[in-house]
């Protein structure tokens, strides 16, 4: 893999702890010999009228051109007249596999098109990743029209994948089952708001927000990986952040690029560094700094 032509990927270090954990990712990827050239883009201090947000048109173009990127957390600026940075990215780049149009002034909007494409993504993901079951999470017993449409779309897509078991689980029951026995589930698909809540619940199950990665996949193969957590202003600039979530997001990005060998190496090095127990971050009961923990991962590599 080391002879592979370098791939250019966009990197948004982001705000708060973002630059510190992005530095960890760059160091670990270099140590692992990952053939990636980073094109770094920072959040602007002025609103770009073309995006109506602090994200510049050029930074969006960078992701469109490279088709792949890794994003650090971005603080949502307080004030009016501009769009949230995260919303701008997801909307402008059409990263629908994490976005189903949600709630507007207490109206819940579920569309057939968005439901079909996210269900299609879930079943295709299950099929191509050796998974056996997709659970459609809903509250259609109460929200019969909106969640009912979502379920109907999931059923339609399921028919095309007879080898994958499809089940429907009401969201409250899903929460209880996740806490009691998360291994009951395989792949979950649900509207955005439920995913927002369930992903934090799952982060709590595995050790907290410092550990959980994600990847937003959209049309034309655009993929933007990012940690689930925010910019953690309470610990920013103190060398205290756990870089694992952004690192594992980077691993998801490498798998998307089919750089599976380096993805596995980095994944194992992270797991081994945590298991070794000597250099854990505070959120995992240790007292190491971000840089010490990053060095431990590089040593395992």
Write out the residues near ligand NAD by the rule CB under 6 A: 17, 73-76, 86, 209-210, 226, 229-235, 241-242, 245, 283
CB 119 within 8 A of CB 189: yes
CA distances in angstroms from 116 to 53, 131, 141, 144, 185, listed in the order given: 30, 19, 20, 17, 21
Instruction: Please state the closest distance from residue 52 (CB atom) to ligand NAD, in A.
Output: 17
Q: Which is nearer to ligand NAD, 111 or 199 (CB)?
A: 199
Please enumerate in sequence order all residues whose Cβ is within 8 A of that of 13, keeping only pairs 6 or more positions apart, or say none.
19, 22, 23, 40, 42, 72
Q: Which is nearer to ligand NAD, 222 or 235 (CB)?
A: 235
CB 263 within 8 A of CB 251: yes
How wide is the angle at C-alpha 114 spanned by C-alphas 222 and 10, nearest 5°? 15
Q: Which is nearer to ligand NAD, 134 or 245 (CB)?
A: 245
Instruction: Name the residue whose CB lies closest to ligand NAD.
Output: 230
Q: Which is nearer to ligand NAD, 154 or 232 (CB)?
A: 232
Going 243 to 85 to 100 to 219, the CA torsion angle's sign is negative
CB 134 within 8 A of CB 190: no
Q: Which is nearer to ligand NAD, 8 or 76 (CB)?
A: 76
Q: Which is nearer to ligand NAD, 144 or 239 (CB)?
A: 239
Q: Report how far residue 62's alpha carbon sits from residue 109's, in angstroms, rounded to the nearest whole number.
A: 31
Instruction: Please state the closest distance from residue 123 (CB atom) to ligand NAD, in A.
Output: 26
Going 76 to 77 to 79 to 80, the CA torsion angle's sign is negative
Instruction: Please state the closest distance from residue 5 (CB atom) to ligand NAD, in A.
Output: 31
Instruction: Please state the closest distance from residue 234 (CB atom) to ligand NAD, in A.
Output: 5
3-state SS, residue 162 = coil
Instruction: Please state the closest distance from residue 226 (CB atom) to ligand NAD, in A.
Output: 6
Instruction: Please state the closest distance from residue 68 (CB atom) to ligand NAD, in A.
Output: 17
Q: Which is nearer to ligand NAD, 75 or 189 (CB)?
A: 75
Q: What does the DSSP assignment read for 238-262?
A: TT---THHHHHHHHHHHHHTT-HHH
Instruction: Please state the closest distance from residue 274 (CB atom) to ligand NAD, in A.
Output: 13
Both tokens of 233, joined, read 């202003």
First to last CA, the chain: 15
């Amino acid at each position: 893999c080391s002879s592979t032509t370098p791939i250019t990927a966009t990197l948004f270090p982001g705000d708060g702890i973002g630059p510190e954990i992005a530095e960890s990712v760059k160091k670990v990827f270099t140590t692992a010999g990952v053939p990636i050239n980073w094109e770094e883009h920072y959040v602007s201090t002025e609103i770009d009228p073309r995006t109506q947000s602090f994200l510049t048109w050029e930074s969006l173009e960078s992701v469109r051109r490279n088709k792949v990127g890794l994003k650090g957390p971005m603080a949502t600026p307080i004030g009016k007249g501009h769009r949230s940075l995260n919303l701008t990215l997801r909307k402008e780049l059409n990263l629908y596999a994490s976005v189903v149009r949600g709630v507007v002034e207490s109206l819940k909007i579920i569309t057939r098109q968005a439901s079909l494409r996210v269900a299609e993504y879930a079943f295709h993901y299950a099929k191509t990743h050796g998974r056996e079951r997709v659970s459609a999470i809903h509250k259609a017993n109460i929200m019969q029209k909106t969640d009912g449409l979502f379920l109907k779309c999931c059923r339609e897509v399921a028919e095309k994948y007879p080898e994958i078991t499809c089940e429907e689980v009401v969201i409250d029951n899903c929460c209880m089952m996740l806490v009691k026995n998360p291994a009951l589930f395989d792949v979950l698909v649900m509207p955005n708001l439920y995913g927002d809540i369930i992903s934090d619940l799952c982060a709590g199950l595995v050790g907290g927000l410092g550990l959980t990665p994600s990847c937003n996949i959209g049309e034309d193969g655009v993929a933007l990986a990012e940690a689930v957590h925010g910019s953690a202003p309470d610990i920013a600039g103190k060398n205290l952040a756990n870089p694992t979530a952004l690192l594992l997001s980077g691993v998801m990005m490498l798998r998307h690029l089919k750089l599976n060998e380096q993805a596995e190496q980095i994944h194992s090095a992270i797991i081994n560094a945590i298991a070794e127990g000597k250099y854990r971050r505070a959120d995992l009961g240790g007292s190491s700094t971000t840089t010490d923990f990053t060095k431990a991962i590089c040593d395992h590599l």
